Amino acid sequence: MATALMFALVESDDPIFRASMATAYVALALFAVTLTFGPAAALRGRRYPVSTDVRRDFGIWSGILALAHVAIGLQVHMRGKMWEYFAQAGRGVLLPRLDPFGLANYTGLAATLIFAVLLATSNDLSLRRLGVGRWRRVHGWANWAVALTLLHGVAYQWIEKRPWTFVVLFAALSLSSIAPRVSRSRKRTGPTTD
């Protein structure tokens, strides 16, 4: 429902671009909600359980939409030449793409790999097989997924000179995914004194 609404709100004649934007923003919103459960409990002085169905469901849907965004997004610019997202021809050889477009896509690729691992291990079987400690370490990669996703998004905001509405929406979603973690970190360390 949210993805369909976002698709309808994106102003473009290109349905592939609209689907890419819709899946990206809804995935980021769901990821922000997923990341809020633990810090919100910690701020209330409680310890959030290792895994709960509601947080897992938000995380799974976030991961599914993030991977859908990648599959759709790779169709937007190069239309079938996916390698050009990551490499460019130079003097008869393929070289890594080291421009802002390449940065956006390499950070997106790295975030995608993390999302795939998080999605694959977001189940009771993985929790039992890995054990609580290793499972938590794997799911701690969500912090890297946040950082890489935000770098990816900022780069695309700049490259495509997105309308202010998308910049504001992206900024709000970014802050909502970071703020609870920062607040929890500050609470853990306590106030600083001079």
Digit-coded pLDDT (tens) for 118-177: 999 999 999 999 999 999 999 989 889 988 998 898 888 888 887 777 778 778 777 776
Burial of 180 (0-12, 13-18, 19+ CB in 10 A): buried
Where are the alpha helices (H) located in the chain, listed in sequence order?
2-9, 15-43, 53-73, 100-120, 124-139, 142-159, 164-189
Dist. CA 188–CA 177, nearest whole Å: 18
Residues 149 and 143 sit within 8 Å (Cβ to Cβ) = no
Residue 79 pLDDT > 80: no
- Parse the chain into domains and list their residue ranges: 2-189
Percent of the chain scoring above 70 in pLDDT: 91
**What pLDDT score does 16 carry?**
94
Answer with the residue of higher pLDDT: 113 or 164: 113
**What pLDDT score does 114 carry?**
96
Residue 193 — pLDDT band, cuts 50, 70, 90? very low
**What pLDDT score does 180 carry?**
65
Answer with the residue of higher pLDDT: 167 or 23: 23
**CA 177 centroid distance within chain:** 10
pLDDT for 8-18, tens place per residue? 988 889 999 99
Residue 190 pLDDT > 70: no
Residue 19 pLDDT > 90: yes
pLDDT for 32-55, tens place per residue? 888 888 777 777 777 777 778 898
Neighbours of 113 (CB within 10 A): 13
